[in-house]
Copies of this chain bind each other. A is one copy, B any other.
Amino acid sequence: MTGRPVGYLRAHGFRGPIWPVNPRATEIAGLPCFPDIASLPGAPDVAIVLLAPDRAEDAVRALAARGCGAAIVLAGGYAEGGPDGAKRQAALRHAAGGMRLLGPNTIGLVNLTDGIVLSATGALEMEGFRAGAVSLVSQSGGILGAVLSRGAAAGMGFAKLIATGNEADLDVADFIDLLVDDDATRVIALYLEGIRRPAAFRAAAARAQAAGKPIVAFKVGRSEAGAQAAISHTGALSGADRLYDALFRQIGAIRAERFSDLLDIPAALATGQRMAGRRVAVLTSTGGAGALLADAFGLAGFDLPPPDAETAATLSALTGEPNVGNPLDLTLAGVKTEIMQGAIAALLDSPRYDALAVVVGSSALAQPRLAADAIAACLVGRDKPVLAFVSPHAPAIGAALQAQGIPAATAPEAAAAILSALAAPAMAPAVQPAPPGPPPGPPPGPPHGPPADLRAGQFDEAESKALFARFGVPAVREAACATPEEAALAARAMGGRVVLKALSRTLAHKSDAGGVRLNLAPGDVAQAGDGIFAAVTQATGAPPDGLLVQEMASGVEVILGLTRDPHLGTAILLGMGGVAAELFGDTALRLLPIDRATAQGMVDELRGAPLLRGFRGRPPADEAALVQAVLDFATMGDALGDRLVTAEINPLFVRAAGQGVRAADGLAVLA
């Protein structure tokens, strides 16, 4: 294994000087060997350290002393292995001083732009890699090998592939930054296990977006259970993976859902083509594969309209078939170059379509170049995306297409994922990169003083709602009372029927403990209050701190919450209330800060949003006030910073249009 990197470096085209260091050898792979780092003829640009942890630290120290630019430490046995390893890793980092460090526990990096491979990955056993425009930053070395070998076999080209390993120093955010400035890189693919510096990551991603370089991210850990925050629904509904969904959405990154997407989508984006709408034509020589594609496209929300009259006439004249549809099946017309080329040109020139997918069927096994040549001939002077779906096992055909810049999918689902990426709103047309705007600032709203007067711990319901009201989210009319008798007086003063609740700084789920009574006449409040005292005492072993009397409220129920993730920061959650958020998972999640458009987007994202908009004869609700409440709650989250543990309004009643929102229940926990 220690011999591999030198061999790979030379096999893949490095022509500069290589200085092996080994006290027990005079020559390695035909190169003169130095006994130690101090003897090197100069300061190396980069060193690859192939020593076990017990000796790597000294080597790194010596390299730093020699003025080396950066060191790559491949060995494992560091922080990934436990506390002892973490200590070793800290010492390694310290030994590097000002020298940059990649790893440890990495497979290294592969630079195909310049023919510099500094890696031990077995994938380098392959030959004939193509330099291309896709770069990969992977937190796993094995995945680097899988992406490189699979991509190369599929005819894809790469610029740089970097495995960051334990990220003792250089991390994913650093390499995104680097790749934004790398002329050879047009698309950045990420394989992520976690993000160490979310702020730096977001800043680097914003630079990539400003530079018009799409990010495609695959994140493992999707099946991890959400934080088991029993105290609030918001915590339970904001699983770690959903936070990453929010993050990727907010930085404009495309999330690769399947592992293969991490290859297919970047390769397609690297062509520079983008899809202006969602209408796609399918051209096939085999009905079944055409149906497969149409099906996958339909599931992904694409339209397959029939050709417009002019295009249909052109296609009929070309094929001799009176009826031409979409998919357009050339089976009966015969799969001939001139027909294929004519059909591709006609479909691309039709104003009815935003992209074209061409099926390469089993007949291609006898005529392997037909489709690729026909497509390539038509691409000249046309700028709509064309992709191929290779239906039989024909890897050489797929690779040839891909090498000509024609995305070639081997699964219908991959073809749909490719089109979805090319059509994603975040993917502004390559010719018009998004202007490099500043990152979103705090949302507008009245200035709020620092929350220094707030105590730590769990707030009771009345305290929680008072806090929310300070930031602009009003509560229902209510009165906090010490005894049932006091509550009865308050209810009479309020007029009308009321809600009576236990007031407590420790009880989280009041209704589960018998601490909530709805729709009470004022005369029944005293007795109900006694009942609540008894029920809560029985359920928890202690009486509540008091009682809360509230007016009965109505409107569309939503849940609005804040939760703080130790890694990614504060997230805001909006969900349809009642049972929808909990049983049907109808929630929208974003990381703070957010702006008004994002708050509106959260409302739009809810499947239950029609309930706010006059669904089946209901009156429209005050959606504008809801959007403002989301913004106000977000402002509170920003102001509380890392003092926030969780905050939640459940339910928040969205009243009829013009009548605002009212928090009917609330909970806040501060650190």
Spell out A's residues near B (CB within 8 Å): 76-77, 80-82, 121-123, 125-126, 138-143, 145-146, 149-150, 152-154, 191, 193, 220-224, 258-260, 286-289, 291-292, 294-299, 323, 331-332, 361-366, 391-395, 411-413, 511-512, 514, 579-580, 583-584, 586, 607-608, 610-611, 615-617
Contacts and interface: CB of A to CB of B under 8 A. Distances in A.
Contact of A362 (B122, B292, B294, B391): B122
A512 B365 contact: no
B140 A286 contact: yes
Contacts of A395: 395
A220 B412 CA distance: 11
A164 to B, nearest CB: 12
A122 B138 CA distance: 40
B138 A288 contact: yes
Contact of A122 (B331, B365, B412, B611): B365
Contacts of A139: 288
Contacts of A223: 294-299
Given A76-B332, A583-B610, A292 B125 contact: no
A125 B362 CA distance: 10
A140 B288 contact: yes
Contacts of A292: 143, 220, 259
Contacts of A288: 138-143, 146, 191, 220
A153 to B, nearest CB: 4
Contact of A146 (B193, B289, B297, B413): B289
Contact of A149 (B289, B331, B394, B586): B394
B511 A616 contact: yes
A140 B291 contact: yes
Contacts of A142: 286-289, 361-362, 391
Contacts of A222: 295, 298-299
Nearest to A331: B76
B298 A392 contact: no
8 contacts: A122-B362, A122-B392, A140-B286, A142-B362, A145-B391, A220-B288, A511-B616, A579-B615
A328 to B, nearest CB: 14
Main secondary structure of the interface of A (DSSP, over half): helix
A291 B220 contact: yes
B611 A579 contact: yes
Contacts of A193: 291
Contacts of A138: 288
A150 B393 contact: yes
Given A122-B362, A392-B149, A512-B616, A289 B76 contact: no
A146 B394 CA distance: 10
Contacts of A145: 286, 361-362, 391-392
A191 B394 CA distance: 21
A286 B579 contact: no
Nearest to A82: B323
B259 A146 contact: no
Given A142-B288, A288-B141, A413-B258, A365 B583 contact: no
A145 B360 CA distance: 12
Given A149-B362, A512-B616, 13 more contacts: A122-B392, A140-B289, A140-B291, A141-B288, A145-B361, A145-B362, A146-B362, A153-B393, A193-B291, A259-B412, A395-B395, A579-B615, A584-B584
A413 B417 CA distance: 15
A307 B11 CA distance: 43
Given A221-B295, A223-B298, A579-B608, A259 B149 contact: no
Contact of A363 (B77, B122, B295): B122
A391 B608 CA distance: 41
Contacts of A331: 76
A172 to B, nearest CB: 14
A662 to B, nearest CB: 21
A77 B366 CA distance: 23
B412 A125 contact: no
A38 B288 CA distance: 36
Contacts of A259: 292, 411-413
Contacts of A296: 223
A259 B200 CA distance: 40
A511 B617 contact: yes
A122 B366 contact: yes
A123 B76 contact: no
For the complex of A and B, 9 pairs with smallest distance between CB atoms:
A140-B288, A223-B298, A142-B286, A145-B362, A122-B362, A143-B288, A142-B288, A149-B393, A153-B393
Nearest to A322: B82
Q: Which of A121, A152, A364 lies at the interface centre, i.e. has the most chain B CB atoms within 10 A of its CB?
A: A121
A366 B126 CA distance: 11
A470 to B, nearest CB: 29
A566 B298 CA distance: 23
A144 B413 CA distance: 19
